[in-house]
């Protein structure tokens, strides 16, 4: 299999095409003036708890306070199919969500990640379930789950990727859960090693910033498109 990356950068936008065996497999476009903050990690401070809504407002240094629901404070749930990067995670039933007043209190500081960009008058949607993507994997620092993107439907390919991930982690152990992304389909297993090393370095930098950051400070910003796909 031959693979090429075509990158076009202008003042207005960045476009990246992934070509495999002469055919277009992926096309990504990121506009300069509208780049979102999804994936950014902040040290937040809870400014208001809303028990009736099972939610809190969190100050993270943006123009508006951000929103954090109790369901987004639970550990990652693995069903073998969830892909944190743009695909549906395992759902949580309302009765499984603890009373938010037992989880947090006003003035409490915590590390959060942006799950949805601000829209109109609504602030960003947050989660405490951190996920760090590389091109072929997603690291779940607070989990031990290993899964495959639900968009990869071939059973033999899913089994092959699961075995390849297990083998790579035996060769280069790392604590945390991992999701194999859709982009890894048909990827030789050894290529996961580069992803694991990238994620290891990224997480080490994030952990260091988590210790020193003050409430309202940015801990980690997602890479621009041209670097995310490399």
Residue 177 has a pLDDT of: 95
Q: How confident is the model at residue 86 (pLDDT cuts 50, 70, 90)?
A: very low
- Whole-number pLDDT of residue 135: 86
- Tell me: the pLDDT tens digits for 171-203? 999 999 999 998 898 787 668 999 999 999 999
Displacement of CA 15 from its chain's centroid (Å): 21
pLDDT of residue 53: 93
**Average pLDDT, rounded, for the chain:** 86
In the chain the domains, ranked by start, together with CATH numbers, are 1-35 (no CATH), 36-228 (2.40.50.140)
Mean pLDDT of the 198-209 span: 96
- Place 80 in a pLDDT band, splitting at 50, 70 and 90: very low
Most confident listed range (31-45, 62-76, 87-101): 62-76
């Amino acid at each position: 299999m031959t693979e090429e990356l075509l990158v076009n950068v202008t003042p207005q936008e960045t476009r990246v095409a992934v070509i495999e065996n002469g055919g277009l497999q992926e096309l990504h476009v990121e506009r300069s003036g509208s780049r979102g903050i999804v994936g950014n990690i902040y040290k937040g401070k809870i400014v208001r708890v809303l028990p009736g809504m099972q939610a809190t407002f969190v100050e993270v240094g943006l123009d508006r306070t951000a929103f954090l629901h109790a369901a987004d404070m639970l550990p990652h749930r693995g069903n073998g199919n969830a892909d944190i990067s743009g695909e549906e995670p395992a759902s949580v039933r309302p009765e499984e969500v603890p009373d938010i007043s037992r989880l947090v209190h006003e003035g409490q500081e915590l590390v959060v990640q942006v799950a949805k960009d601000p829209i109109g008058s609504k602030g960003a949607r947050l989660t405490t379930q951190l996920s760090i993507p590389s091109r072929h994997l997603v690291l779940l620092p607070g989990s031990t789950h290993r899964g495959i993107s639900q968009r990869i439907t071939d059973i033999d390919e899913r089994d092959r990727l699961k075995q390849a991930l297990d083998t790579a982690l035996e060769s280069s152990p790392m604590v945390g859960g991992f999701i194999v992304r859709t982009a890894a389909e048909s990827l030789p297993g050894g290529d996961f090693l580069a992803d694991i090393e990238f994620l290891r370095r990224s997480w080490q930098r994030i952990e260091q910033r988590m210790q020193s950051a003050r409430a309202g400070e940015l801990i980690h910003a997602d890479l621009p498109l041209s670097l995310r796909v490399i």
